[in-house]
Amino acid sequence: MRRHAPTFAVTLVLGCGGGGSGEGGSTEGDAGTVGTASGSASDPDASGSIDDGPTDGPSTDTSVDEASSGDDDDTGEPTPSGCEPLPAPEGTIVEVAPGDDLAAAVAGAPAGATVMIADGTYDVGPDGLWVSADGVTIRGASGDREAVVLDGAYQQAGGGLVNVMGRDGTTIAHLTIRRARYHLVHVTGGPEGPSTNTRLFDLHLVDPGEQAIKINSNYDFDSDGGEIACSRVELTDEGRAQVMMYESSGTFCYTGGVDAHRARDWVIRDNVIEGFWCSNEFLSEHAIHLWRGCRDTVVERNLLVDNARGIGFGLGQPAGGRTYDDDPCPGIPIAEHYGGVVRNNFIVGTRPELFASPSGMDVGIALEAACGATVVHNTVASAMPPFSSIEWRFAESNPRLVNNLVTHNLRERDGAVAESIGNLENADAAMFVDLAAHDLHLVAGAAAIDQGDPQGADLAGTDVDGDPRASAPDVGADERVR
């Protein structure tokens, strides 16, 4: 892609130093004009955070690439909207090239600065990268996320490869981040206050040792108002084998895509998340999971492929999570998740190895002790039966389910009660353009066309591709373009 030359007031150019590396290895030396890294290599989870580790077992134990908007003949991936590259930076710019000390550049970036990372592969090192000021942007200079690789090589003693602790307005964009022992990106409260308005944009996140993106509280401060958009998050077969080595996690499958505790007002949109499952007897966490008192989350237009669990609001019965003084769910004093919307997502499972694993494809969308959630115009399709395509569980769950299309079952569990309108179960795979290729757009004549309740058009006025819904909408995430 063509990028205009940046305009800026001040540019800091690093001399060759230690910490970063090109393809051939690392060099040690001075950090140039940027100060030394701050922050700790210890896991922020260890100091007052709500990180309970693996919780609950399989439900079965007891019970993006960009395309033209509106096209239904694309690759099957949801067409992103609002995924244009970041504009050229302004203000202070810190330029980093292979051989420079990337950790020092990030830690020394002043408030409002942009750290521009040149193409290359960078050895992040055992301490990770720590953002030390508000309003810092860390981005690949070329705008090509595959050209700038931050590699952890599974070395970290704790935390993330990139750490945002108690900062406001951090943006991380146009990068590949891979091979963390724990998290690829960790957003948490810090001793100075909460982390707010974090934006994770156009990232390729590959092979975390635990969860790829971890969002939680620390020092009695939470992490609110963030966005995860236009990114690809994946666990490869090589990375899965690494995850399954870590007995110290309490399970040999403590991994997932996005995992958030006590977080409010996050938007997770236009992402592709793939491969979070294990071949042993342990069940992974979800591709997208918000629990322990999260609130008002929006999860929309994501493509989730071959994950043991897709989208989860809550897990288990509520205990020790965040509560709110304004009583968001009258009559329900504490819940695992409050409010929130899950809409226009494609969730698909086809890989034989996933279904052959002990947990298989457990669930597409799960609501556990989640009050006031709306689940509207999603498509959940799998080549073999999951335990549930969509399920709601425990008395705190009272979701509104509107115009969802699933190839298998909707399941009510353990005293939960849903308002179910216009949903279609046991859909024939022949309704879809190509289930095997993860393309869940509707074919002409599909039984879901024009069969949705009109309320769906009010709750989700456009579909997974941004196409407007008809007054008699199609069931599922796709509104077929005639």
Please give the backbone phi and psi of residue 96, each rounded to the nearest 5 degrees, phi first.
Answer: -125, 135
CA distances from 307 to 156, 269, 298, 312 (A): 25, 17, 20, 12
Domain 10-331 has CATH 2.60.40: no
Q: Give the amino acid at 385.
A: P
Which residue reads 């353990």 in tokens? Answer: 414
pLDDT at position 28 is 30
pLDDT at position 423 is 98
pLDDT at position 87 is 96
Contacts of 166 (CB under 8 A, 6+ apart): 188, 189, 190, 191, 192, 193, 194, 195, 218, 219, 221
- Phi-psi category of residue 141: left, alpha or beta, with phi > 0 → left and psi -120 to 50 → alpha: alpha
Rounded distance between C-alpha atoms, residue 315 and residue 332, angstroms: 16
- Phi-psi category of residue 327: left, alpha or beta, with phi > 0 → left and psi -120 to 50 → alpha: left
**H helix count then E strand count, the chain:** 4, 40
Concatenate the DSSP letters of all residues of 374-414 into one string. EEES-EEEESS--SEEEEEESTT---EEES-EESS-EEEET
pLDDT at position 77 is 53
Which residue reads 């669930």 in tokens? Answer: 363
pLDDT at position 353 is 98
pLDDT at position 202 is 98
Q: What are the domain boundaries of the chain?
A: 10-331
Average pLDDT taken over every residue of the chain? 87
- What are the residue ranges in the chain where pLDDT is below 70? 1-81
Continuous segment of H or E residues that includes residue 457:
helix 455-459
Tokens of 335: 């819940």
Using an 8 Å Cβ cutoff, are 452 and 395 in contact? no
